[in-house]
Structure 1
């Protein structure tokens, strides 16, 4: 057995023991797809950056620890700042990741949660490296798989790797939020990017009774996996599955630049019933995010204290929350009092017994997306 085969087998064993790989058909698919083939262009690993910034350094194919890294159950960054790949640089870089190979246990967990059957047609949103696409092809046959990638360079690399492995699904370069109507209807739709709202195009392109599996979240950075069933009336609904699942947002859903911050010494100040702890906890942040879906979060040191600031670029509304004299205070400005909305939503959730995210239901209609517990 080669080193690669041993590492591959060990990864599969860990996923079986961990519970992400649960059924024999997906176990066979995982065994048939070598992850390292999709990472021959290298990847970036996290290193300590200057002044506490996150930094990334390239790991190239042929480096001593490259192969072992390929079969580690972690997400591996494959693109930085929209264009930079590992072969482009030789030292650390502090820009933001824009594409990655998701940790295999999450990929397989989602594919298991997709509840496919042998005859199903699947639309995948976000080809990425092509690893999850190859898994779908190994399980269902390439003729039943359509995959869309937004980034042309990423799509080109995935197409080349899949071709090298003699795997030929329908690959589309374009906006995955619009789906791919030419091959519709699909039995299943799965998104390997995060979305703020599930696009109606996905619902329309899924047959009644079909499933959509997507990570829904927002600009405060809390997200969850939702499994929606498409209904005869053209709507879709279903539960959150839990597990604090996080993906990079689809690029059209990424937040706008913050630009210059508003004058945080302006506005009205009052005492608040909730403090910044609601933004630190994953579940309560998801709840707050539902109330202020267009707000972004900034942490600042001002006047000798830490302030958590929410800013809605579109409306110009803002709220700064901080502790003073044993109390939580908030100062707000702009047309919409953001923290008032957060307080009200959080209070309703607490009054309902603080239900777990698995008790939430997401509904998508032509009128919009609604989340309730």
Structure 2
């Protein structure tokens, strides 16, 4: 049969090809990490997964596995620079009879290799360093760390017991034996502290205070900060005596939010048609989805979410709802632009418009112009320098 291939031989060739492409694209620089990409068998961590269907309509994911997709196609997908979903809604998948999945939220995945190696290179590890990884997932990035530093230098925390069990099995099968623990990554692992480096492969609303205690002064934290509306981006922080500061990276990488920080199920009470006070809006709802302004909106309204819908057959309006303070903003189209109605203890749209205007006044900078300073008591994102415009992070 055409698909009777030597999986290990083909996979080794595909790993070298992937490493070469990442290097050519400027995403892989270190010879040590290139050696790790060429050595670690990603297919051992992705024996099956889901990819998004390109069919129109409701978003649907289709299973990919060598038994049904074919070994050659499966391997080709495994070693492409893509993120592949391995779990939905926190439930294990019956891989004896996998079915297409719709109306579901991905809750575990194997992140695209270019982003994985970008974060690992940002970590700046050296021989002999101890690393704490938050979010084991499939275990692929854990294996890269083990290849680079040795299994004894790596501790990884996964919140899902089933995900952790499968990662341990894949790691062991690949010859790596790090400590893989099940728990809340926000707490870290004090018994193994201090760590030289900490890397998180899920998004957090702020930097957990335990991380500041467990990473030694001069150590590095690399993680993604995000909110309930969108990702803020990748940050690299240098720790100094239970505080830390650093910068966002350019670009817009995003990870699933840590499960312990999922948004509340309820959006809160929808405002009535006459609730709040109205004014002409300086910006319409499009700023909630444009990269730069949306970054600012997330900073300005860290506890908010939004959606658009038509009410009672009227025009489509956009609702911005803060489920913590029960504040709201409703944007509705008019003949001359947009009108906003606001209510509650926070004027959400005032804050969002102010943040967007500040961004424009400073030349519409990329995320790389923003920095972060965190301590146990306060966490702040700033523009330009620590004395510039500031926005508080949620914890």
Query: Which of 148, 153, 156 does residue 147 from structure 1 map onto?
Result: 156
Query: Which of 64, 76, 79 does residue 59 from structure 1 map onto?
Result: 64
Equivalent-residue separation in structure 2 for 1:268 and 1:359 (angstroms): 35
Deviation of 1:48 (Å): 4.8
How is 1:226-305 mapped onto 2 (pairs within 5 angstroms)?
Answer: 226-232=235-241, 234-259=242-267, 261-265=269-273, 266-302=275-311, 303-305=313-315
Equivalent-residue separation in structure 2 for 1:140 and 1:296 (angstroms): 41
CA contact (8 A) 2:267 2:321 kept: no
CA contact (8 A) 1:224 1:244 kept: yes
Comparing 263-272 and 15-24, the one that deviates more? 263-272
Aligned to 2:23: 16
**Structure 1's 17 and 156: CA in aligned 2 closer, same or farther, altered over 3 A?**
same
What's the CA shift string for 1:181-223, capped at 9, x where partnerless? Answer: 1110011000000011011111110110100001011111132
Deviation of 1:300 (Å): 1.5
Query: Which of 17, 35, 41 does residue 42 from structure 2 map onto?
Result: 35
Aligned to 1:311: 321
Deviation of 1:351 (Å): 2.6
How is 1:333-352 mapped onto 2 (pairs within 5 angstroms)?
Answer: 333-352=343-362
Equivalent-residue separation in structure 2 for 1:314 and 1:283 (angstroms): 25
Q: Which runs of 5+ in 2 are unaligned?
A: 1-5, 384-395
Deviation of 1:304 (Å): 4.1
Equivalent-residue separation in structure 1 for 2:201 and 2:267 (angstroms): 29
Comparing 296-305 and 28-37, the one that deviates more? 296-305
Equivalent-residue separation in structure 2 for 1:103 and 1:364 (angstroms): 28
Deviation of 1:15 (Å): 0.7
What is the TM-score when the length of structure 1 is the normalising length? Answer: 0.95
Q: Which runs of 4+ in 1 moved over 4 A?
A: none
Query: Which of 178, 186, 193 does residue 202 from structure 2 map onto?
Result: 193
Comparing 253-262 and 66-75, the one that deviates more? 253-262
Aligned to 1:76: 84
Equivalent-residue separation in structure 2 for 1:74 and 1:163 (angstroms): 24
Equivalent-residue separation in structure 1 for 2:337 and 2:272 (angstroms): 19
Equivalent-residue separation in structure 2 for 1:174 and 1:61 (angstroms): 32
CA contact (8 A) 2:64 2:74 kept: yes
Aligned to 2:381: 371
Q: Which runs of 5+ in 1 are unaligned?
A: none
- What is the number of residues matched between the two proteins? 370
CA contact (8 A) 2:268 2:326 kept: no
* Corresponding position: 1:129 with 2:138: yes
Aligned to 1:361: 371
CA contact (8 A) 1:222 1:282 kept: no
What's the CA shift string for 1:331-371, capped at 9, x where partnerless? Answer: 12223221111122222232333332111110111112100
CA contact (8 A) 2:15 2:39 kept: no
Equivalent-residue separation in structure 2 for 1:85 and 1:246 (angstroms): 24
**Structure 1's 334 and 179: CA in aligned 2 closer, same or farther, altered over 3 A?**
same
Equivalent-residue separation in structure 1 for 2:15 and 2:314 (angstroms): 51
